[in-house]
Structure 1
Amino acid sequence: MHALSIPTWMVHVSSVIEWIAAIWLVWRYGERLNNPAWKGLAWAMLPALIGAMCACTWHFFDNAQRLEWLVTLQASMTVVGNCTVCVAAAWIWRRSRQGMKPSARSTPNAADQS
């Protein structure tokens, strides 16, 4: 546990807590809107949380050589998490576009311009 200073540990732990809170808030928002796309975003955020927990675990054990596989898992979860959040954001965007009514665009005629 000596691999990181106390202030660095505070940042690591608070970041994990904030991410958990963000997942919970996104889930609640999805429930409130009754929109499964937002709940999908909450699920999509989980790989990044797993990656953060891998990093904290590795540091907790003083960056032990025998746990170096956690570094690879953390990096993999970061990539997977970035991809899943991207897909979830696209899903939210598509659903929001479906809910929008088409604008009533018409070409102006000569009577409208005067």
Structure 2
Amino acid sequence: MVMLNCLSLPKQISAPKLEQPLPSKLETNAAKKLSCRRSSSSCVLIGAAGITILSLAGPSYAAALSEPSNALSLPTWAVHVSSVVEWATAMVLVWQYGDKSGFESWKGLSWGMVPLLGGALCACTWHFFYNAESLEILVALQAALTVIGNATMCVAAYRIYVSSKERSKNS
């Protein structure tokens, strides 16, 4: 990764100023040239993931391109995404257990987990778009799917209980 550090530019070297505003979406082509403006203390990071502009002080183009204050941090995203992956994996494992053990009622638990996965995807989608007010319906949908998912898992757990009780009577 290459970093242009504006603070360490010698005074005799002046970085070119941008003649026109940056496009609303940065192209990730590292070959594109962006300037490091000493007057606004903006710096450009160029790497494999694309181009990132850091603003060290004052208003600049970087401020217009930065994430909003309600953006989730990388560790928070890691928790969200890993939770969704973990839940989907649990659904698959519960299904496989029901399939291989012959206890078909366990497959119902896997189906009962589906609404909760939908709720998790609603939450991630809403956060992905920085909790946009226009997508607040996703919050209500997540809440509804959580209630439905809790009810379906309760029914599935009861069915597993009844099934295991019947098996113990037959043994």
Normalising by structure 1, report the TM-score.
0.86
Q: Where do 1:25-64 residues align within 5 Å?
A: 25-64=93-132
Deviation beyond 2 Å, 4+ runs, structure 1: none
Question: C-alpha offsets along residues 26-71 of structure 1, whole Å, 9 cap, x if unaligned?
Answer: 0000001122210000000000000000000000000001000000
Q: Give the aligned partner of residue 110 of structure 1.
A: none
Q: Where do 1:1-114 residues align within 5 Å?
A: 3-101=71-169
| Alignment coverage as a number of residue pairs | 103
CA RMSD of the aligned region, Å? Answer: 1.6
Report the structure, 1 or 2, having the larger strand content. Answer: 2
Which of the pair has the greater relative contact order for Cα pairs under 8 Å at 6+ separation?
A: 1
Question: Aligned residues: percent identity?
Answer: 58
State how far apart, in whole Å, the 2-side matches of 1:92 and 1:66 are. Answer: 41
Gap runs ≥5 in structure 2: 1-66
SS in 2 for 1:21: helix
The structural deviation recorded for 1:101 is 3.1
Which one has a bigger Cα radius of gyration? Answer: 2
Q: Give the aligned partner of residue 8 of structure 2.
A: none
The structural deviation recorded for 1:75 is 0.5
Report the structure, 1 or 2, having the larger helix content. Answer: 1
State how far apart, in whole Å, the 2-side matches of 1:54 and 1:5 are. Answer: 18
Q: Which letter does structure 1 place at the counterpart of 2:117?
A: L
Question: C-alpha offsets along residues 67-100 of structure 1, whole Å, 9 cap, x if unaligned?
Answer: 0000000000000000000000000000000011
